[in-house]
Amino acid sequence: MTTDTATGTDPVPATRSSEVAVALTGGTLGAGRRMRNTAASVLMVLAFLLAATPLVVMGVQVFSQGIDAVTSGSWWTAPIPETGRADLADNEALQDLGFGDTSGGDSSASEVVLGMAPAIVGTLLTVLGASVLAIPLGILGAVYLHEYGKKGRLARLIRFMTDVMTGVPSVVMGVFVYTVWVLPRGVDGKSALAASLALACLMLPIVVRSTEEMLKLVPDNLREASAALGTRTWKTTVKVVLPAALAGITSGSLLAVARAAGETAPVVFVIGFVTTTNLGFLGQNTTLSAQIYSQQQNGGALSTELAWGAALTLVGIVLVLTLVARGISRRFQIG
């Protein structure tokens, strides 16, 4: 009897432990629970594929539709061709009247010297201007936040408003520069400089926040060691803290540059339009993003080819910047 009760009580813990074991392997899960778990996992993978597939398809299509223009030899050096005639050849009503035909549109597109040099120069110029304005200012601002302001009331306010400013739509930055810079000057106000101002407004909060994150990663030991040698805060910051955070700051700034290079909305109505290269900050100019938009609006075979070429060029530039930034931040992670 006693052995009987012993074996009677024994099975209870036995089943328990086996239940646990089974639960760990998923063996006795109810069909419903197991299915729900599997379904959730499948949905998670699906979510990623839903985002990744369009990206891949877009990459392939931008590449295949832009590669001819970009590799046409004259692309990086020639002025942007006038698209008026190609548009006429493409116009169906005119075709009906006997003015050219569809193949005429295509042949005129291939006869024209394809070029995007003015827009490439303009993109570099506007982004350079914006970087010169925003990056030093942003880094200094971040130094204030992290080295001086810390948890003070003003620093907290600036931090909060910087986050808010990151969320201000880029088109609003464009409208702002349009009202304070272009309107008072008329058409003359439209320039690479105006576009740089708008892009700088866009970049500033990004640079401030990413730089502050990097300053946080610099160990306090370094600051204390420097201070213990009798060094002033400013010198510690310039000679010790900033060099230590340099890689991270560079990478954050590059991401901001990449973002600015791709922006269209704040650029189009403050930069004007040109088809020849303008190396100056003053006077109308153009950028790759602005060209993509206006060529798309033109329609026509030649314009479309130019738009795709500009898109591929822009994506290339932005992608290189982004990947370089990621590479830098991965290689030089502090701590």
Subset of residues 192 to 221 that bind another protein, contact rule: CB under 8 A: 201, 204-205, 208, 220
In the DSSP assignment, the letter for residue 76 is T
Distance CA 44, CA 88 (A): 50
Per the CB < 8 A criterion, the answer to whether 207 and 140 are in contact is no
Helices (H), the chain: 2-9, 11-25, 31-70, 84-90, 92-96, 102-111, 117-143, 153-166, 170-177, 183-185, 192-217, 220-228, 233-236, 242-262, 265-271, 288-298, 301-331
Q: How far is the CB of 275 from another protein (least distance, A)?
A: 17
Select 168 or 279, whichever has its Cβ closest to another protein.
Answer: 168
Per the rule left: phi > 0, alpha: psi between -120 and 50, beta: everything else, 230 is left
Q: Which of 80, 130, 135, 158 binds another protein (CB under 8 A)?
A: 158
Taking contact as CB under 8 A, which single stretch among the options 35-43, 82-90, 100-108, 110-118 is the one that binds another protein? Answer: 35-43
**Residue 155 makes contact with another protein by CB under 8 A:** yes
- Taking CB under 8 A as the rule, which mask of x and - marks residues 81-120 in contact with another protein? ----------------------------------------
> How far apart are the C-alpha atoms of 80 and 310, rounded to whole Å?
11
Rank residues 12 and 51 by Cβ distance to another protein and give the closer one. Answer: 51
Does position 262 interact with another protein (CB under 8 A)? The reply is yes
Q: At what angle do helices 11-25 and 2-9 cross, to 10 degrees?
A: 20
- Does 128 participate in binding another protein (rule CB under 8 A)? no
Is residue 86 within 8 A of residue 109, CB to CB? The reply is yes
Question: Would you say 217 and 334 are in contact if contact means Cβ atoms under 8 Å apart?
Answer: yes
Minimum CB separation from another protein for residue 8, in Å? Answer: 25
Closest CA to 145 of 200, 209, 201: 209
Q: Report the residue from 124, 128, 137, 334 that binds another protein according to the rule CB under 8 A.
A: 137
Query: In whole angstroms, what is the distance from residue 245 CA to residue 210 CA?
Result: 11
Task: Specify the residue, 210 or 264, whose C-beta has the smaller distance to another protein.
Answer: 264
Interface residue with another protein among 15, 17, 37, 276 (CB under 8 A) is 37
According to CB under 8 A, which residues from 42 to 81 bind another protein? Answer: 43-48, 50-52, 54-55, 57-58, 61-62, 65
The binding track of 269-298 with respect to another protein, each residue x by CB under 8 A or -, is x-------------------x--xx--x--
Q: Provide, rounded to whole angstroms, the least separation between the CB of residue 4 and another protein.
A: 31
- With contacts defined by CB under 8 A, name the span among 10-18, 93-101, 102-110, 145-153 that binds another protein: 145-153
Of 14, 113, 132, 164, the one binding another protein by CB under 8 A: 164
* Residues in region 298-317 near another protein by CB under 8 A: 304, 307-308, 311, 314-315
Report the alpha-carbon distance of residue 303 to residue 26 in Å, rounded.
59
Which residue in 178, 275, 281, 298 binds another protein (CB under 8 A)? 178
Q: How far apart are CA 47 and CA 62, in angstroms?
A: 23
Output the CA–CA distances (angstroms, integers) from residue 326 to 136, 216, 320, 322, in the order listed: 21, 19, 10, 6
| Among positions 183, 217, 246, 279, the unique one binding another protein when judged by CB under 8 A | 183
**Segment lying near another protein (by CB under 8 A), choices 4-12, 77-85, 99-107, 170-178:** 170-178
